[in-house]
Structures are given as C-alpha cells and as structure tokens.
Structure 1
Amino acid sequence: MLNVVSLIQEKVCQAVQELYGAEFQAANVPVNTTRKEFEGDYTVVVFPFTKVARQKPEVIAQQLGQYLTEQLPELVDFNVVKGFLNLTVGDEYWKSFLLGPAQDTRYGKQPASGKKVVIESCSPNTNKPLHLGHIRNILLGWSMSQILEAVGHEVVKVQIINDRGIAICKSMLAWQKYGNGNTPASVTMKPDHFVGYYYVKFEQEFQAEYKEWQESTEGRQVFEAQHKENESPTEFFKRYKDTYFNEYSQLGQEARSLLLAWEAGEEEVVALWKKMNGWVYAGFDVTFEKLGVTFDQIYYESETYLLGKKMVEKGLEQGVFYRCEDGSV
C-alpha cells in the first residue's frame, strides 16, 4: 500500500494532466506536513503549476482540492491559504496504516543472516526477589533479542544465575534459625519474596549483633587500636563491617561454615540449598511469565565455580594474579 503522501503526489499529477493538459513527475510535486497553526495534515504547494494552469494560485489550489477529495477516499477535507492547499486525512486511513503492520507477523523482518548472537540478561542471585534493576535489564535484553531476530540473526537468550556463595548461605542460615519450618505456601507468600525475607532477616540480626559488639570491651578496644585520626566511632564501624563479619561475628562464622559444608557436599545442607533455590526459581518464573519473557539456556554458577577456582589457582601459579593481605585475589 502506498503511503498517503505518494497517493497525493500521484493524484496531483493526474489532476494537472486532466485539468491543465500538462505532465508532472510525482517526485516533483511538493507535499509538506501542514504547519501547526493551520488546519490539515499535509500541504501541497501549488505555485509550480501556475505557469501551466495560467490561473491564480488560490484558484488552482481550490480546483486541486476539489479533485483530490473526490478521487481519494483517504482525504476528508481541504482548505486553501493563498497558494497552499491543506489536506485533511481521515481517521480510517490512519487506522489501516497502523493495523496493517500490526496484523502482519512478518512486518519488518529480514531474511536469515546466518549469524548467531547470544544475549545475556537478568542473571540474578537466588537470595532475594528480582528488583527494578533486574526488570530493566530483562526488558533491555528481550528488546534487543527481538530486534536482532527481526533483522535475521539467530538469537540465543541466556542468563547466568548466581546460585551459590555467602549471600545465599545468609538466607539459608536465617531460615534455619528463625523460619520455624515455615514455607511460602504456609505463609501465603510469593516464593522468591519468602526467601528474600530471610535474607533481610539475617541482615537485621547481624546489625543487632554488630551494634552490641561495638559497645563491648572488645569492640571499643578494636576502635581505639585501629581507627584513623579524627575518625568517629560511627565512621569507623561503618567501614569495619566486613572485617567484623569475617573475623568476629558469630553469624558470619555460621554462614561461612554453611558455605564450607555446601562446598563439601554435606547432604543436609545441599538439600536445604536445593529447597530454597527451588522456591526462588518458582517465584522468578511467575515474574518472567508476567513480563512475557523466556530464556533459551540457563547457566548456574554452582556448575562452573570450580572451573573458575582452577583458573584462578593457575593464574596465581603463573604470576598472572596475586593474593592480597585479606586473602582476596
């Protein structure tokens, strides 16, 4: 279907031929968007036709407007402002203009390019529900995949789920200590939100523990020995939080022990990990379904972290990496 501008240009040429006996090329017919201060959608500039018509521009515009609205059902009205013919396009044309592509499932799609593209998006942790940043990332990834598919590429949509580590063990430990055997079903809560509740619960209990320690003799001694000049207790303990977690915290010790037990494959810990991750995945799936997105392949850190550790160890041996005083690489 020709767009309305092309239709107008062709009909203007036909009108000039019939009314004035002259030939014009459609490409030479000036059609512009009507200026906002005038009524209409498109404007035909009639000055180029004055020589062949031998009439005033206003008369030519009136004659062409009458001809075009009779010949083109897409046009429902016209008005003349000096040598300018303003044309109004009817609603039915705009409806068909929009509905046509919408109903064409192949609209805008290109032949296969022979190229394969991998789009990775979302890739959450399994200790809490998806947040707004994940949603933004998911929609960007999905949009990119749809665009790339439309231009002919084979697209593989993947995500890499961080399903192991200390953050996951925090929610596991909190459920063990404070969950009282509750499940998402027993408290009628979306499963990923349920697990996220215990991740937050861990942080709340940890903060209470940390605050109590700061006021203890040991905490005050650490502050006196390690704070910077003019550094307040509030500033010091804010930056000391991770060190406390790793060196003094009872909850931190329990979470690390849980992680070591998982890495050792202890049956009870692995079973708990699978159960809580299963809850999270069920919650994620609800969100994905509501968003209308799918993934072709899902990778899990639990299946690749040992390979990563081997590569890091090799890098240390070869001097590519180095170990810091805190043990990090």
Structure 2
Amino acid sequence: MKSREGTVVDADDLMQEMINTARDMSKELGKLEGYTEEEAEAVYSMVALGALKYFILKVDPRKNMTFNPQESIDFNGNTGPFIQYTHARIRSIFRKADEKGIAWSGAAPLGVSLNEKESNLVKSIVNFPNVVKEAGAAFSPAIIANYIYDLAKEYNQFYHDNPILFEENQVIRDMRLTLCYSVGEIIKKGMWLLGADVPDRM
C-alpha cells in the first residue's frame, strides 16, 4: 500500500479475500469435514482474521512488510493458522481423553523426571509473563506473536516425540496432559492479546 500514490487496500475487501482464501484452503485440505455450513463459515472467519492480524502483528512495528494473503493463511510455518491448528490439536486430545474415559487431575504430579522436550516446553511455558511484560514495555505485539509461534513449534516437537493418551504410566500421562493444557491456555491468551480467536476444532 502506498497512500501517496493512491494504491490503498479497502479493509472490507481484504478481509473478504482472506475469508475466501481460508475457505478454499480448508476445502482443499479437508480440515472441516463433518461440519455444518454455519460451523464451517465461523471457522473460516476465525482463521482468516487470525491469519491477517497475526501476519501484521508478528512484524516489528518499525520494519516494513510485504503481505501475502496465501502465505499468511498457510497451515505451516510462522502463521496464525499454524498456531490456531496447534490449539485445536490440543483440544482434540482432551476430547479423545473423555471418549476413552481417561481421567486427568488437572494438575501436574510432583517429582516426575522430564525428558529434554518436556523440559524445554516447561521453560517456554513459564516465560509467558515475562514475554507479555517485555512486549508491553517495548510497545511491540511482535514479541508476543513470535513467542506464541515458538511455543507452538516447541509443542509440536514434543507432541510428535512423546505419547500422551497412549502413555501407560499414569503419572507421566498426567504430566503430559498438564503440559498440553498449559500450552493451549497460553496460545489462547496470547492470541487474544493480539485480537485473534482460536477454534476448538479445525
């Protein structure tokens, strides 16, 4: 956009383009099979606006940026939909736990030894208040945006390397479910601070 040259983008047109892009990509990937049309449209809007807000806010406000609607709505990489999908994946774990009758105390058991991936995730989780404070002091939402992305990336590495619901040791399973829940809550709060929502299913 170059306002001096008259090349501007209408916000309503941009948002509608984003929703259309989200709809096309979701249908192509088959992410929302089994949804009603109304449910699907709500997710398209949530993903589209989350993608738009995140893409803009992840860039340091002092830097220029090039906005690409297709790139911003990709389900891989440093994008809003990648983070939203991570939250939906976490919520899916707890739905499956309910279906399997797996109880979770809601708190991490004490005295559990952590592997490297679990330890790294804990370190990221406990750093959230410091990140928010730093972002506020610097007037830079990009600090929160990039922290959430790093957290989501860290979580997905943990998820792929560690069984959760199929873990037979209940103490370890409870610890891992607590990690999942904590990450999900931080993603939800962090995206809320950026003005974006996260779906429970996606």
TM bucket normalised to smaller: under 0.3
Structure with greater contact order relative to length (CA < 8 Å, sep ≥ 6): 2
Q: Which structure carries more helix by proportion?
A: 2
TM-score, normalised to structure 1, is: 0.17
User: Based on CA coordinates, which of the two structures has the bigger radius of gyration?
Assistant: 1
Q: Which structure carries more strand by proportion?
A: 1
TM-score, normalised to structure 2, is: 0.25
